[in-house]
Amino acid sequence: MHIDTLLLSCRVIGRTVETALLSFIADLARKQKLKNITGDIIPTKKNEPSQNFYAKHKFTKKSENHWSAQLEENSFACPEWIQIRMGG
């Protein structure tokens, strides 16, 4: 699975919402029998708070802006204080 664009308000970055979202994405990928998640980040002045997102979540840097994580090696556990609910 590839994360093309991940947008979050600066007010929630660092409050573990990003980890919960990654946990949700990883669960979707596992259900589709995918083996890894990839993502790109192009550093700019405006996205400085998120530039360590992939490194913080143990992704491996594959090239200057490209990161990858194996789903078997990373659980991406959702923080206990956040509940993700599907449906209406």
- Whether residue 81 is contained in a domain is answered as no
Residue 69: closest CA among 84, 50, 55, 52: 55
Residue 80 inside a domain? The answer is: no
Radius of gyration of the chain (CA): 13
Q: What is the pTM of this model?
A: 0.86
Q: What is the pLDDT of residue 88?
A: 65
**Total structural domains within the chain:** 1
How far is C-alpha 58 from the chain's CA centre? 10
Q: What is the pLDDT along the chain (88 residues), one digit of tens a residue?
A: 999 988 888 788 888 999 999 999 999 999 999 999 999 998 888 888 788 999 999 999 999 999 999 999 988 999 999 998 887 6
Domain that holds residue 28: 2-70
58: domain CATH number?
A: 3.40.630.30
